[in-house]
């Protein structure tokens, strides 16, 4: 059971870091092309997929890394209901970039702590 929990924790953290990195790229691209005529803004789809995987794990009663195998952060176009590109709002993009940077730092810190705990467990609690 512990191997399963550790694998899920590591998988979720790795996926979340990938999503945050991809999100930073998408936001930077949006900012760089804010005044480009015809530019279609981008956003990263990840949290929705993770929620779906979580629901699936709850329904089948299994918690393992395999359940996360279909979760992949991906870039999507930001369009309105008619399919027309939404305008880039620089203030919102800057706020999203700041929020994403803080989230990335928190994920890195969490991953570091996770590995510290594993290291302590492997050393029988000694540092």
Where exactly are the structural domains of the chain?
A: 2-122
> How many C-beta atoms surround the C-beta of residue 125 within 10 A?
7
pTM of the model: 0.83
E strand or H helix at 10: helix 2-32
- Contact between 39 and 33 (Cβ < 8 Å): yes
Query: Residue 78: which pLDDT band, with cuts at 50, 70 and 90?
Result: very high
Question: Looking at residue 59, what is its pLDDT?
Answer: 84
Q: How far apart are the C-alpha atoms of 52 and 38, rounded to whole Å?
A: 33
Question: Looking at residue 2, what is its pLDDT?
Answer: 46
């Amino acid at each position: 059971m512990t191997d399963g929990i550790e694998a899920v924790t590591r998988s979720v953290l790795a996926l979340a870091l990938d999503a945050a990195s991809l999100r930073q790229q998408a936001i930077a691209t949006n900012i760089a092309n804010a005044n480009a005529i015809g530019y279609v803004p981008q956003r990263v789809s990840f949290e929705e997929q993770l929620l779906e995987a979580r629901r699936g794990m709850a329904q089948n009663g299994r918690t393992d890394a395999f359940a996360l195998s279909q979760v992949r952060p991906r870039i999507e176009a930001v369009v309105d209901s008619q399919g027309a590109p939404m305008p880039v709002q620089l203030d919102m993009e800057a706020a999203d970039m700041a929020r994403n940077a803080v989230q990335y730092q928190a994920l890195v810190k969490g991953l570091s702590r996770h590995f510290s705990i594993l290291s302590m467990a492997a050393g029988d609690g000694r540092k």
